[in-house]
Amino acid sequence: MKTMQRFWVSTVVMALLFGLSACDSMSKRDKNIAIGAGVGGVAGSVLTGGSAVGTVGGAAVGGVIGNEVSKDKK
């Protein structure tokens, strides 16, 4: 039992490390979009009680907001 638990913890940690290393080459705008989508997805899920539509909608709105925040001002 302990061996399986260690295996899954190690797998999750490695997946997180590989996932975070992918963000290294992202531009500031891309990072803002990803952060906005993540925060929006969590907020949408919380506000709708875990609804999939609320989560996806929140992620879409958050991504748009992250995109708009990082646009160049003219």
- Per-residue pLDDT reduced to its tens digit, 33-60: 888 888 898 898 889 888 889 989 999 9
In the chain, % of residues over pLDDT 70: 92
Give the number of other Cβ atoms within 10 Å of residue 59's Cβ: 20
Instruction: For residue 35, tell me if it sits in a domain.
Output: yes
Of the candidates 4, 72, 71, which has an alpha carbon nearest to the alpha carbon of residue 33?
71
Report the mean per-residue pLDDT for the chain: 83
- Asked if residue 27 is part of any domain, the answer here is yes
Structure tokens at 33: 């979009």
27 pLDDT band, cuts 50/70/90, is confident
**Prediction pTM value:** 0.65
In a domain, 74, yes or no: no
Structural domain including 39 reads 2-69
The domain tally of the chain equals 1
Does residue 65 register a pLDDT over 80? Answer: yes
